[in-house]
A and B are shown apart, each in its own frame.
Chain A
Amino acid sequence: MRTVVWTIATLALLGLLAGGAVVSFGLYNIAARAGHWPITAWVLHTTYRRAVDLRAPAPGTAPPLTEEMARLGVRHFDGACRMCHAAPGQARTWTIRSMEPEPPPIAEAVGDWSPEELHWIIYNGVKMSGMPHWPSVREDDVWAVVAFLTRVQEMDAETYADWAADPPVPPGAPTGLAYCAGCHGLDGRSGNARIPRLDLQSEAYLAQALQSFREGRRESGIMAQAASAVPAESLPALAAWFASVPPAPEAAQVDEDLAARGEELAWAATQDPEVPACSGCHGPEESEVRRGPGPALAGQHESYLAEQLRLWRDGLRGGGPAAELMAKAAQHLDETDIAALAAYYAGLEPEAERR
């Protein structure tokens, strides 16, 4: 017995010394050029596949992956992912192909992963592979990218180029405008319900929102990428650009009963002791007395409003210096309140004067 214990202890010590020597004398060759042994590559890849299988949410839990989401997702992919995984019909650069492991072309990377598994991989990233995690704690906006990925294997180069294209911008436009306008439209009025209208907001509000995204005070993986891809000096000019477009008098068709309930809530007609009157900060104005300090909501996309209210309620929506006001205001909202309020404000015609 004694001999066995001594043998094991001696072997363990030798093992520790060997391991320590490999690390401290630099014996392991970390060169990407050296590549992996086939067995190492197999172990790493199998570990990756099994880890995702184990941790990804159950199949069938993904929300409906609409084309609107995919059109937002493709823009994020184009800015953040294409450099490694290449767009449909395009080749990866030789530099990217010299990575170890090599990032697969996007159709191959999607492979036969389910939407839920793709969501897990994009949100969490993959250690020691060069695949970053989602640049925000928010999980919901990852689905836009997943919506694109579920279509990418059938997508041809022309469709991709069409969906991902930056619109032409006038001469003298601020740096980054083409990139911003690709999602939000040159006039700030994206026709896409997943992408908020910017034509409603004041310059001060837009500048503050961009700064919040850039500094990580407001959560969104897509806007974190966008606000850090554009030069910081350009953000005020971009805010000014979108604020210079007069708000278009467009309001959405909404469920009237729902909107009526939302109106009661927004004006405190329900006497609810836990839900503040939204109109106190967000209008619309009843008189010449300015109501503040919140952004304009009238005419904003319904699904965007609902999504933002959920983020506020769940404590995932930071923002400017007055963010605590809205965080407290939204903490008691339930799903019915959120649907009603989103319908009410989406159904209002935008106010002519910006707040």
Chain B
Amino acid sequence: MSGCEGPQSVFRTGGSDAAQLEHLFLVMLAGAVVLWLGINGLFYYASRVSARPVSRARVEALILGGGVGLPVVVLTALLVYGLSIMPDQRAPGDGLRLRVTGEQFWWRVEYWPEGAEAPVVSANEVRLPVGRRTEIELAATDVIHSFWLPALGGKTDLIPGRVNRMSLEPTEVGTWRGQCAEFCGLSHALMAFQAITLEEAEFGAWLAREAQGLAPEARTAEGYAIFTAQGCGGCHALRGTEARGTVGPDLTHVGGRATLAAGILPMTADALTDWIRDPAAFKPGVEMPGYDHMDPDELATLALWLEGLR
């Protein structure tokens, strides 16, 4: 079934939490099928196979046994099983901590390796090491959002004014897709993100690269001068430069992300050009203003330069 595959499916899992949820679902489904068959079987038996009056004592036994006794036993068993896996779903992380903040309509992502004093800031993509349990703190700036990576685990809300937590333990290397799962405004459906799971050593190498500031050669390029002259640094940070805005996503390594604009566009120079010229055309209600007043050649140069920031 095609609807059950792909990077955003609870049936194509890549982490222990999602596998557990999938298992829970299958157990529930199996139980439901058995009950459905049993009840309908009895109904069929009583109405078609052996349709005759039944004694009062037998009716009372059926009602008490089948209507009270059986549900108590079945539901208690399912409840105990369901409760028994809850601690696993909320288990504390074992090292790396992520802080994800929901914004209209994108994700601010901070990586806090153990013992770090300052985070490595990124956006709209989470990278997680396979085989480790990563603690994820969830916050929101404006309205309630919900962080959901169906292939890796359950969903948890991001609520302004408080910090929720969850943890994820990926078991398989891959690229997965997440989605805001709580209506958060005009472009709620366009608030997605990528999750990339990596072997631990590879993840460490990536994080070390991500922690670096803007490459010196990128700073001397024409794109940087355009970026600065257009005032992009008022909202976006390029770490290690004068651009230190905190309103929009950190762009220090924007070209290294798989998607643009929170999972809705490919990370190409063309898409960047279209997006910068008129973001609201792709994402109604977006905070970013349009730059349709820019010289088209300068805009193309800027987009190409941004795409090269890996």
Binding site for B on A (CB under 8 A): 267-268, 271-281, 286-287, 289-294, 321-322, 324-325, 327-329
Tell me the smallest distance from the CB of A141 to a CB of chain B, in Å: 26
Cβ contacts under 8 Å, A321 to chain B = 293
Known contacts A286-B242, A291-B229, A325-B289; decide if A276 and B235 are in contact (CB<8 Å): yes
Closest to B245 in A: A277
Q: Per-residue 0/1 for B267-310: is the Cβ within 8 Å of any A Cβ (1 yes, 0 no)?
A: 00000000000000000000111100100000000000000000
Contacts of B245 in A (CB 8 A): 268, 276-277, 280
- Inter-subunit contact B293/A277 (CB<8 Å): no
Interface membership of B29, Cβ < 8 A:
no
Contact status A290-B225, CB under 8 Å: yes
Nearest-CB residue, chain A, relative to B232: A280
Q: How far is the CA of A293 from the CA of B243 in the complex (A)?
A: 14
A275-B247, A280-B245 known; A329 and B293 CB under 8 Å? no
Contact B234 A272 (CB under 8 A): no
Distance of A8 Cα from B233 Cα, bound (Å):
75
Minimum CB–CB distance for A277 against chain B, Å: 5
Check if B228 sits within 8 Å of A290, measured CB to CB. yes
Q: Told that A277-B244, A289-B228 touch, could you supply 15 new A-B pairs with CB distance under 8 A?
A: A272-B247, A274-B141, A274-B247, A275-B247, A277-B233, A278-B234, A280-B231, A289-B224, A289-B242, A291-B242, A292-B228, A293-B229, A322-B293, A324-B290, A327-B289
CB-CB under 8 A from B231, the residues of chain A are: 280-281, 291-294, 325
Q: Tell me the complex Cα distance, A290–B229, Å.
A: 6
Among residues of A, the one whose C-beta sits closest to the C-beta of B247 is: A276
How far is B287's CA from A303's CA once the two chains are assembled, in angstroms? 28
17 contacts between A and B (CB under 8 A): A273-B101, A273-B103, A273-B246, A277-B234, A277-B244, A278-B234, A280-B234, A280-B235, A281-B231, A281-B234, A287-B242, A292-B229, A293-B229, A293-B231, A321-B293, A325-B231, A329-B235
B205-244 contact mask (Cβ, 8 Å, vs A): 1 or 0 = 0000000000000000000110011111111010000111
Q: Which residue of B lies closest to A272 (CB)?
A: B246
Q: Nearest chain-B residue to A270 (Cβ)?
A: B246
Contact A273 B229 (CB under 8 A): no
Q: Is there an interface contact between A291 and B233, defined as CB atoms closer than 8 Å? A: yes
Q: How far is the CA of A322 from the CA of B287 in the complex (A)?
A: 15
The residue of chain A having its C-beta at the shortest distance from the C-beta of B241 within the complex is: A289
Complex CA–CA separation, A292 to B103 (angstroms)? 26
Q: How far is the CA of A292 from the CA of B293 in the complex (A)?
A: 13
B241 to chain A, nearest CB (A): 9
Bound together, the chains give a CA A92 to CA B113 distance in angstroms of 80
List A contacts of B290 (CB < 8 A): 324
How many whole Å from A235's CB to the nearest CB in chain B?
Answer: 20
Chain A residues, CB < 8 A from B101 = 273
Residue of A with least CB distance to B219: A289
The 9 closest A-B pairs by CB, nearest first: A280-B234, A281-B231, A321-B293, A276-B234, A280-B233, A324-B289, A292-B229, A276-B235, A328-B289
How far, in angstroms, from A329 to B232 measured CA to CA in the complex? 12
Interfacial chain A residues near B243, Cβ < 8 Å? 280
- Complex Cα spacing A229 to B101, Å: 52
Interfacial chain A residues near B232, Cβ < 8 Å: 280
Q: How far apart are the CA atoms of A290 and B227 in the complex, in Å? A: 10
User: B194 → chain A, closest Cβ, in Å?
Assistant: 22
Contacting residues, chain B, for A324 (C-beta < 8 A): 289-290
Chain A residue, CB-CB nearest to B244: A268
Query: Which chain B residue lies CB-closest to A294?
Result: B231
The residues of A that contact B237 with a CB separation of less than 8 Å are 268
A319 to chain B, nearest CB (A): 11
Q: A281-B231, A281-B234, A289-B225 are in contact. Are A267 and B244 (CB under 8 A)?
A: yes
C-alpha gap A279/B242 in the complex (Å): 9
CA distance A281 to B289 in the complex (A): 14
Distance in Å: Cβ of B184 to nearest Cβ of chain A: 15
Instruction: With both chains docked as a complex, state the minimum distance between the C-beta of A170 and any C-beta of chain B, in angstroms.
Output: 35
Query: Are B141 and A273 in contact, with the CB atoms below 8 A?
Result: yes
User: How many angstroms from the CA of A280 to the CA of B293 in the assembled complex?
Assistant: 18
Please give, as numbers and ranges, the residues of chain B lying within 8 Å of A277 by CB-CB distance.
Answer: 233-235, 244-246
Residues on A with beta carbons closer than 8 Å to the beta carbon of B244: 267-268, 277
A329: B residues at CB distance < 8 A: 234-235
Interface membership of chain B positions 101-116, coded 1 if the CB is closer than 8 angstroms to chain A and 0 otherwise: 1010000100000000
> Min CB distance, B160 to chain A, in Å?
11
Question: What are the residues of chain A within 8 A of B247 when measuring CB–CB?
Answer: 272-276
| Cβ of A334 to closest chain B Cβ, rounded Å | 15
CA of A280 to CA of B287, assembled, Å = 17
The CA-CA distance from A258 to B70 in the complex, in Å, is 71
Within the complex, what minimum Cβ distance (angstroms) separates A325 from chain B?
5
Determine how close the nearest CB of chain B comes to the CB of A315; give it in whole angstroms. Answer: 14
Choice from A271, A287, A292 contacting B246 with Cβ under 8 Å: A271
CA A159 to CA B85, docked complex, whole Å: 87
Q: How far is the CA of A324 from the CA of B103 in the complex (A)?
A: 20
Closest to B231 in A: A281
CA distance A301 to B35 in the complex (A): 78
> How far, in whole Å, are A55 and B87 apart by their CA atoms in the complex?
65
Complex CA distance for A277 and B248, rounded to whole angstroms: 11
User: With A276-B235, A280-B235, A280-B243 given, is the CB distance from A292 to B230 under 8 Å?
Assistant: yes
Q: What A residues does B108 contact at CB under 8 A?
A: 273
Q: What sequence of 0s and 1s flags, for each residue 81-122 of chain B, a beta carbon within 8 Å of any chain A beta carbon? A: 000000000000000000001010000100000000000000
